[in-house]
Amino acid sequence: ENFVQKTSAPFSTNSYDAFISPNTLNLSSFTKLLKKLQEIHPEASRDKIVDALLEVRKNNKGILSGLSIISIVERTSVVL
């Protein structure tokens, strides 16, 4: 039998790529979340916000799904 070998995409060190995964948020939700956090924390760079979101995800057993946007914003604001 012929098998098609599945290959995974190479890991990227880009924060944006690292943040987006099928098990977290879709692009629309991520965009809304990022915009909201930029409004609340205009002094924070996009990368700093993404790093804070990654920290929130890490502290929530590695996932963001199941948390409300409001909860993610609040937890991220504490990190920032």
Mean pLDDT calculated for residue range 65-70: 88
In a domain, 8, yes or no: no
In a domain, 41, yes or no: yes
In degrees to the nearest 10, what's the CA dihedral of 43, 44, 46, 52?
A: -160
In a domain, 2, yes or no: no
Q: Are 21 and 53 in contact (CB under 8 A)?
A: no
Per-residue pLDDT band for 65 (boundaries 50, 70, 90) equals: confident
pLDDT at 26: 61
Residue 51: domain span: 27-79
In a domain, 39, yes or no: yes
- Split into its structural domains, the chain has a count of 1
In a domain, 66, yes or no: yes
In a domain, 46, yes or no: yes
pLDDT at 73: 94
Per-residue pLDDT band for 31 (boundaries 50, 70, 90) equals: confident
In a domain, 73, yes or no: yes
Mean pLDDT calculated for residue range 26-35: 82
Q: Is the pLDDT of residue 66 over 80?
A: yes
